[in-house]
Amino acid sequence: MARILVLTHPAGGTSGVFDEAARSDGHVLEEWSPATSAEPPRGLAAYDALIVLGGDQNVCERDRFPYLDRELSLIAAWLDGGRPLLGVCLGAQLLAQAAGGEVVRAPSPEVGWYDVSLTESGRADPVIGFGPPRFSAFQWHDYVAQPPSGAALLAHSEGCLQAFRIGCAWGVQYHPEVTRAIVAGWIDDTRGKAGGDSPDRDAALAFGDLSTRLAPWMAYGRELMHRFAAQAS
Enzyme catalytic residues? 89, 175, 177
What's the rounded Cα separation, in Å, for the pair 135 and 138? 10
Chain-centroid distance of CA 165 in Å reads 13
Neighbours of 175 (CB within 10 A): 23
- Let me know: does 140 contact 54? Beta carbons within 8 Å: yes
